[in-house]
Amino acid sequence: MTTPSSSSPVLIRRAQLSDSTAIAPLFDAYRQFYEQAPDLAGAQRFIHARLSQQESVILVASDSAGVLLGFCQLYPSFCSVEAQPIYTLYDFFVSPQARRCGAGRALLQAAHEHAAREGYARMDLTTARDNLAAQALYESLGWVQDRVFLSYNLRVKG
């Protein structure tokens, strides 16, 4: 993969089912970033299922040659308090070789524009406490850290 320069355009588009194979290595790398075992076949199945069942919106960033640089995945949900639809931006990853070229910023801006166009009230995301580079990017784009609510989870199986 070539590293895009700051002058190379970063193109953002909504992923299609035919993109699932190309997205899978990025999704697998994203999972490994969060200390999961490599599983390219599982990553491909997961992305293919989300796209084929229209359960998420995936935006991809590519260079001018069409090489994928990164992606973000939005899951539709609802906020009962606001009685509005919201997106959870659950997955966001830019390949290490493509970082600092604007792909991450462009993906987040495109996600915001998509959510606004579709009538969503807001987007939520979580990130690792030590992922300071991502936090700085989010805050530079107006994302606000929640200081009111705590997040919990409970394993259902396994």
Print the domain residue range for 77.
11-140
pLDDT at 2: 42
Residues 6+ apart with CB under 8 A from 68: 19, 22, 23, 26, 60, 61, 62, 95
End-to-end C-alpha distance for the chain, whole angstroms: 37
Does residue 115 sit in helix, strand or coil?
A: helix
CB neighbour class for 80 (10 Å; exposed up to 12, middle 13-18, buried from 19): exposed
Greatest distance between any 2 Cα atoms in the chain: 48
Residue 28: which CATH number?
A: 3.40.630.30
- Structure confidence at residue 1 as a pLDDT band (50, 70, 90): very low
Residue 157 lies in a domain: no
Mean model confidence pLDDT for the chain: 93
Q: Which range (6-10, 20-24, 79-83, 122-126) has the least confidence?
A: 6-10
Q: What is the number of structural domains in the chain? A: 1
Residue 56 lies in a domain: yes
* CA distance readout (Å), 32 to 3, 84, 96, 106, 130: 21, 33, 13, 23, 15
* CA distance readout (Å), 155 to 32, 38, 55: 20, 21, 22
- Cβ pair 61, 46 in contact under 8 A: no
Residue 67 lies in a domain: yes
pTM of the predicted model as reported, rounded to 2 decimal places? 0.91
pLDDT at 3: 46
- What's the rounded mean pLDDT across residues 17-39? 97
- What's the rounded mean pLDDT across residues 146-150? 91
Residue 148 lies in a domain: no
pLDDT at 46: 98
